[in-house]
Structure 1
């Protein structure tokens, strides 16, 4: 008798999905949402090691900027690689935008850090804003930032 309530709830949920009554989603839309979520999680898993590497070297920006730059470059490459294997166009596009903007930031950061940012500081700030904008767009698609 204890199993009657969960079984009834599961049956109602299944019926709602099959008939398209689940929060107004069609069965196709429900499947696409699950698929998109899986692809977002795939990207997240793919870049975890690089994110850990970046966090580990964040404190080194003044003492060992090359290690930080390398970690950021690895993250950019990992995001781009993860995006290649994604089938959903919206997820792929938003991940590629993050990877591209991060790559530009790392390139400019490396170029202008050699001069102590006497030149190019404004460009690095603008690049950083581009990364934040791309990451916010990715968050709208996947629910988390890279």
Structure 2
């Protein structure tokens, strides 16, 4: 099903970052009516506060479909970045390491080679990469 792009839809670059986190297409059963792209746009519209589950626009999948797939992703621990407690832990660790709060995103961006505007955008395996980058910066400065 095709639809016109919305101002709140994820960009192609953002989708490329998310693609590895999404489950692969099933080899059995009925093919999907909606693409993951549209389902993820619906999930993010709800998470951003643009819409509620039951006021999902008609050009997106039904709210039941989007809510069901969101619950499945959470249950299977298919995360889109760090959960809030892990992001808070990374913030605390960076502060303990001497990085000023205003510089946390810049340090994470430098460590990962892409723009980070929230530590919840950092994948779990990347959090260790950020900590290692800071440790190397500290050793280099000493």
TM above 0.5: no
Compare CA radii of gyration and give the structure with the larger one: 1
Give the number of the structure whose residues are more often helix, by fraction: 1
The TM-score, its normalising length taken from structure 1, stands at: 0.27
The TM-score, its normalising length taken from structure 2, stands at: 0.28
